[in-house]
Structure 1
Amino acid sequence: MVIAGYLASVLIGISLGLIGGGGSILTVPVLVYLFGIDPVSATADSLFIVGVTSAVGSVAYLKKGLVHVRTAVIFGIPSIGAVFLTRAYILPFIPETVFSIAGIAVTKGALLMLLFAVLMLLASYSMIRGERKPACSPVLRQHPRYLPLIMQGAFIGLITGLVGAGGGFLIIPALVNLQKLPVKTAIGTSLVIISVNSLLGFFFSLTHNAVQWGLLGVIAFIAIAGILVGSYFSGKVNGKILKPAFGWFVLVMGIYILVKELVR
């Protein structure tokens, strides 16, 4: 299972490099089911892996001028605030046994995995459906829609803090639809936002989480190698084919987690 986990770590990085998202949605399931880490700790560990990997991947986009810094700041500030509130106050106060139904206890870890499965189903739908054609030309707005961007940033921060996912599958459509950023710039900007959110979320969790630095370092190193490969091939692979194919894979994984957590 550990070998399978390392192979899956490559896929995490490749996905982030190729399509700017999706890879982070695999990190928690990989940590839980292949490395045997409990779900609560996995949401924190995932933030480190996703954050470091996204930070490395964003460098290539920064060098190419494919990061819109103003949008990243406007989106990132409320997002960071939501990550902090979630990791510092909301998650630690969720009881270990959330509720019971017919004598069956639903634990905090099981609840997080069920939420994660729902998130994977939403992510798969977004990737399989593909990007909708924008109503106007994909040129950056002269007067950006700040309020929707701030609200979207806060929502992404809540998701990132709660389940340890970067949220690229939600960030990229928001940047394209709200700010009319070109897709490549949206991917680069998304990676910057994901890296800052995830790394800060991880540091906010250090007081509540015992870190296996050796294991995280190896996984992060492998994922970084994957994102470098993905970034190299991003201009050579047809994203219209790759993204839906990866979406179907995420859909199957989401259904698997739902079944595994519900049927015990």
Structure 2
Amino acid sequence: MSGAEPFLFPDWPAPTGVHAATTLRTGGVSAGPYNSLNSALHVGDDTESVMHNRRFIRERLALPSEPVWLEQIHSSQVVKAGDVVGLPQADASYTDEPGVVCAVMTADCLPLLLCSVDGLRIAAIHAGWRGLLNGVIGNAVAALGECELLGWLGPAIGPGSFEVGEEVRIAFAHKSPAFDNAFKPQAGGKWLADIYRLARIELNMLGVTNIYGGRFCTVTEPDRFYSYRRDTVTGRMATLIWRD
């Protein structure tokens, strides 16, 4: 195992009793391109290694229960974590119950955490551009109900690395002209998209203005982060949130 710090902890003013962390790629036992703290079973890694890594994450973070893992499909589907049976196809989960761990896995897509200022409601969201475009953030905010929220933007592909086609920019422009300034033109009809700015714009339109994080780039920091765009065959980080 690597001796490097295996977790990133959000720098946000979450209320007492709300806990959160993102796993980095150090501290686990996975080998090869999954080196080393891969938490995903669906990427071709050795199952025993992944399960060891998941136990390590649970023990080191003193999680109150096994995280509620999702089969993420770039959808807008949100589930209540405490009601989950099996592995649901969804890209966000929420809870108002203590001891339930909401979790998403990423390797360039945006992990977004939400919590109410009273600390009673929390959510974890997997926001790739498709899910973001299709309303996964709005659905999660709606699921949390009427409350003031804090948001934290975890490690994702940075604005200098996320090249997309014209069709992506047009799709967001059709959703709202407010998204226009999240895209910068490149040669050959391509655009650089700022997924952090896209999420901030969406959150602002939903009334969420207390937003933190969003200063990472998974592509340019291979020692800390997995990146699908950089490596194709790779592991996943887990971003988790729970409350007392």
* TM-score normalised over the length of structure 1: 0.27
Instruction: With a CA cutoff of 8 Å and minimum separation of 6, indicate the structure with the bigger relative contact order.
Output: 1
* TM-score normalised over the length of structure 2: 0.28
